[in-house]
Each structure stands twice: as C-alpha cells, then as structure tokens.
Structure 1
C-alpha cells in the first residue's frame, strides 16, 4: 500500500511540476508579455513569487519520492543493478536529468526572470534606447533558457515511460 501511495504522489507531483512549467512557459508568460510594461511588472512579481513557492517544494518532493520509490521500494538495490542493467541506467539518467532540470530552474531561470523586474521602467519604456534593447535581450535569453528546461523535462518524461516498460 505504501508503494501505491508513493507512486501516486510521485506521479501527481510530477504532473504538477511539469504541467506548471509548461503552462507558465506557453500560456501565462506569452499572455503577460502582451500587456503594457507597467501591467507586466504588476503581474510578474506576484506570479514569480507564487510559482516559486509552489514549484520549489513540489519539485523537491518529486525528486525524493522518485529516489525512494526506485531504490528502497524499487528494483535499484545495488550499484551493480544501477550500472549493470538497462533499467538501472535509465533510472540513473532520469535521476540526473531531474536534478539537473531542478537546478537549472532554480539557479538559472529564476534569477534570469528576476532580472527582468530589476530593469528601470523608464529606460525600458524608451523604445530603441539601451534599456529597451537590454530588456529585449534578457527576454530572448529567458525564452531560450526555458526551452532548454523543456529539453530536461522531455528526457525525464521519456525515461519514466521507458522504466514503466522495464527498460
């Protein structure tokens, strides 16, 4: 019964993490970017704070539950199994990709998003000015960082499917 609950929570929280990031990247952020700059700031600050308050603990729990589910309550009981079987290697890749995706979001994307709020509003409002160009470059950089995070989620998701079939 504990394995069932753990698996259920792992999947539910994984959906919340991945789905939350997908929704932010492909729905919320593009919608916010259509607003005037003053409104973007008014929306983005609480959105960033709320998202990090939710997604940070959810992602930590996903990682911990996956690790416990695969090792203590799963087949990865030894180093030989981890590096000597297809399932073990897939588990290792999934774990490394998940930790890397978490770290990427926390230490690369979050600070890059906060930098947008640090731009002086007056400089950004001057079209063609140095502030506006720097702001546009930061938005473009943030979009690229988000795409790279999606690559991490793609690897994780693929590994989860492979492990479901014992690979």
Structure 2
C-alpha cells in the first residue's frame, strides 16, 4: 500500500487531489469498520447473547466483546478524523459544519457522525467497561450500565441510517 501511495502521488502530479482521494479511501475503510461493528453488536451479538449457554458467555464477554469494542472505538475516531480531513482538503469543512447553503446534507451527516462518535467514547464505552467487568462495579451497576450502553448503541444504529443517507446523497448531488 505504501508503494502504491508513493507511486500514485508522483504519477498524477496533483498531490492535493491525491491526498484527498487517499483520505477518502481511509474514511470509507474506517467507516465500514465502525458501522459494520455497530451493526454486528446490534443485529448479531446483543440478540444472540440470551441464547448462549451460561458457560460460554465468558468467551464473548471476556474476549470477543472487549476486542470488538476496541476496534469499534478506534474505527469511530479515525472515521471522524479522516472525514474532517477530507472536508478540510475539499474546502467545505466550515460550510458543512455550519450547515451552509449547498452543504446541508453533508453537514447534517457530519453532525450525526460527531454525535455518534461522542456516544461511542463517552456513553457506550464507559458503560460497557462496567457491564463487562473491565472496571469493578456492583451487579446492579453492571446491569444498569449494560442497559445504558445498549440504548445508546441502538440510538447510534438509528442515527447511522440518516447519516449514511446524507453523506451518500450529498456525494451524488455533486460538489464534493
């Protein structure tokens, strides 16, 4: 990949356009990871856990979930960072973030993504740490934390639909 990056940078003679395309690629890659894990949690893991025999649940809660949550958090972070870089390189970051004329769809998508990333880092992850026993908590606190994490994860799943719509539709309308 590094060889391709350096070759393409020199071959096309427009470093700005190349970097924009490279960060768009990274933005899509991290976005797929983030939303894919979000959908995994909400459509696979959460509905399946009640069916998992008690002796097998620690395999999920001690090994799979913490690892998946690591990739989930950092995919969210890098999706936001690379998305902001793309918006900056393309010259529409300010217009989109203030929901300016012609950039309202992408701006709304960006704000939804920022809200979702906030939820990941400051609501879902702290509650999951307690629910999974990564940090000590009483059983009642663990249960409440699991419920809170699930509610915000479901909220993010719902927000992901208009977020994706806004971003894809703005791109289809042109100007980005």
Q: Same fold (TM over 0.5)?
A: yes
The alignment's TM-score, normalised by the length of structure 1, stands at: 0.74
**Partners in 2 of 1:139 and 1:37 — Cα distance?**
17
Query: 2: CA distance between counterparts of 1:80 and 1:110?
Result: 28
* Aligned length in residues: 152
Gaps of 5+ in 1: 119-123, 125-130
Which consecutive unaligned segments of at least 5 residues does structure 2 have?
1-17, 134-138
- Whether 1:105 aligns to 2:120 is yes
Map of 1:121 onto structure 2: none
Contact 2:97 2:110 in 1 (8 A): no
**RMSD of Structure 2 on Structure 1 (CA):** 2.9
Q: Return closer, same or farther for 1:111/1:38 CA change in 2, 3 Å cut-off.
A: farther
Q: Are the structure 2 counterparts of residues 34 and 92 from structure 1 closer, same or farther at C-alpha, using a change threshold of 3 Å?
A: same
1:86 pairs, out of 92, 97, 102, with 102
2:34 aligns with 17
Q: Match of 1:26?
A: 43
Give the deviation of 1:59 after TM superposition.
1.5
Indicate yes or no: 2:167 matched with 1:163: no
Higher relative contact order (CA 8 A, sep 6+): 1
2: CA distance, partners of 1:43 / 1:104:
22
Task: Give TM-score scaled by structure 2 length.
Answer: 0.71
Structure 2 counterparts to residues 117-156 of structure 1, below 5 A: 117-118=132-133, 135=143, 141-156=148-163
